[in-house]
Amino acid sequence: MGTRLARTARTPQTARLARIRAAVVRALSRLAPPRTVRGRRRLVRWTVAVCVLALLPATWLRLSTGGRLRTEADVPREPVAVVFGAGLWNGRPSPYLAHRLDAAARLYAAGKVRVVLVTGDNSRPSYDEPGAMRTYLTAHGVPARRIVLDYAGFDTWDSCDRARRIFGVDHAVLISQGFHIRRALALCGAAGIDAYGVGVDEPHDATWYAGGVRELLAASKAAVDVVLRPSPRFLGPHEDGVARALAAPGPAAP
């Protein structure tokens, strides 16, 4: 009697598990490759179509920005360099961000730019990316009066749109790693900035390849941003920091 009751008590649970197993088997059967030649051809066509659609935004970025990529040696003189944030390690610029800032300091010292706009994340008091970028630049020879901070550069589109609408930047040199610079150029161009891009060289390590894979996904978002031109997460009032930095007394470069 006790055994019969135990079996009866387990019956609903057993039936539930059986239904789950059946659902998993059905799902796996749909993932199985087609058995017919026609089905396999259809699968190949769909796979190719998906791959082409996935690569279209990245192809657009490459084709639309090729003429705007320059080196530190041949980039034209522009009033402003825009440096995009790339994270902090223990309150200091990450290696990738430090390399971007090094390039900006070299361009300033060479007289290629007169002001550096650093744009990054300061969404919480304990994380001040633009402040850390300014500290790094001043330690590498860029006067504080020539550095302007954008505390609400939460992504590339926000940084570009705010540079134009909030800080009045219309001509600039953009500085980032090679895997990101094309997207920055396309987005800043859409925001109304006539820009050239300097791609910072990095060893092609795991971080580099991870950034490249991320850019394939980010290219689709960039295409949407160009079409829709959404308002930045935080817009705020116009700021004259860039204009004041350009007009600041003293030589533009040490």
Residue ranges covered by each domain of the chain: 1-32, 65-247
pLDDT confidence of residue 9: 47
**The domain at 65-247 falls in which architecture?**
3-Layer(aba) Sandwich (3.40)
pLDDT digit string, tens, across residues 40-58: 566 555 555 444 445 555 5
pLDDT digit string, tens, across residues 215-245: 667 777 877 887 888 889 888 899 999 999 9
Q: Is the pLDDT of residue 3 over 50?
A: no
Three-state DSSP string of the chain: CHHHHHHHHHHHHHHHHHHHHHHHHHHHHHHCCCCCHHHHHHHHHHHHHHHHHHHHHHHHHHHHHHHHEECCCCCCCCCEEEEECCCEECCEECHHHHHHHHHHHHHHHCCCCCEEEEECECCECCECHHHHHHHHHHHCCCCHHHEEEECECCCHHHHHHHHHHCCCCCEEEEEEEHHHHHHHHHHHHHHCCEEEEEEECCCCCHHHHHHHHHHHHHHHHHHHHHHHCCCCCCCCCCCCHHHHHHHCCCCCCC
pLDDT confidence of residue 107: 98
